[in-house]
Amino acid sequence: MDFNLTEEHLMIQQAARDFAQTELLPGVIERDEHSKFPTEQVKMMADLGFLGMVVDPKYGGAGLDSISYVLALTEIAKIDASAAVIMSVNNSLVCAGLQKYCNEEQKMKYLVPLAKGEVLGAFCLSEPEAGSDATSQKTTAIDKGDHYVLNGTKNWITNGSSASTYVVIAQTNVEKGHKGISAFIVEKGWAGFAIGPKEKKMGIRGSDTHSLLFTDVIVPKENRIGEEGFGFTFAMNVLNGGRIGIASQALGIATGAYELALNYAQQRKAFGKEIFKHQAIAFKLVDMATSIMAAKMLCLKAASEKDEGKDISQSGAMAKLYASQVAMDTTIEAVQIHGGNGYVAEYHVERMMRDAKITQIYEGTSEIQRIVISRTLVS
């Protein structure tokens, strides 16, 4: 792997950094406090091409590589993890899956507006009794000839109310277990499709998370992705790529908290000198910087392997597992370095600590990542 970023990579990174600093930072505390969706900022991300970064230009995307995606997403997450998860879901879980597995008609109808950022997408896998265990789907889609009838509930869906296009995983043949799971594209506004109340969350409060309820929703046959029974394979392959997005979010949160802590340690004085000059603080910052660098290398390795067409089951899970732990550890230490100031909203790090925790949970907990990695070790 070549660790040297190209000029294009650096330009994309700088563009994302400038956007985050000028457009996301000013209102990020208010959006967190009031659980306010960043509507205007998401429109700006669309204009910058950040909502369909790796999609082929013929389908409305920016046609960039996965390394560019990691760099941009990291810069967004450094400032606003809520905006980052909106961007990540649309790119990693929706656009990437549609581009790889949909037919041409589906791509033109659904992928193009998603990649352009004209609409947002949501990925609907988790259920009340099937979070990390994707094989235990209770949502069903019964074949009725020229259409399916969809019934069930999906939980913890990012972009739950802001999306217009939903990728829904459902059981089409219960007797076949995970081999009887299929994937569908569902549109907002279809009869029987209802959006539940917005979840009140510890972190990433600017993103909208909802339960979705499907009651006798008629889904046309042409909205099935791939063959019947392909849904589990589709979901697992999409999640493999999605872990790069989560790892990048975690890396961004950790980097943002570290930079704030480093700056604060050079300004704050105690016992007659800047606290950075006390070994107790300096060593914390050293450990933070070292862990962040290691997480960054794992993220770039996974992204590079994805661009090379390699199996990223291991590298993606490793990046997600490690980067999410680094995000949690780093934000905790950033609060500690800030002392009492770290416990109030004005200094940002308390929000980052709350935001960091979810990176260890969504798209498979840390325990699930270890299971994924362990299987690749023996295979």
- Residues catalogued as catalytic: 363
The 8-class DSSP code of residue 168 comes to: E
**Residue 180: Cβ within 10 Å count:** 18
Report phi then psi at 149, rounded to 5. -110, 115
Start-to-end CA distance of the chain, whole Å, equals 23
Cα dist. 120→117, 163, 164, 315 in Å?
Answer: 6, 4, 6, 28
Cα dist. 214→91, 181, 227 in Å?
Answer: 24, 16, 22
The gap from C-alpha 319 to its chain's centroid, in whole angstroms, comes to: 13
3-state secondary structure of 145: coil
Cα dist. 104→109, 113, 319 in Å?
Answer: 9, 14, 32
**170, 184 contact by CB (below 8 A):** yes
Cα dist. 43→57, 107, 280 in Å?
Answer: 19, 21, 44
The 8-class DSSP code of residue 222 comes to: G
What's the number of CA atoms in the CB half-sphere (13 Å) around residue 361?
Answer: 11
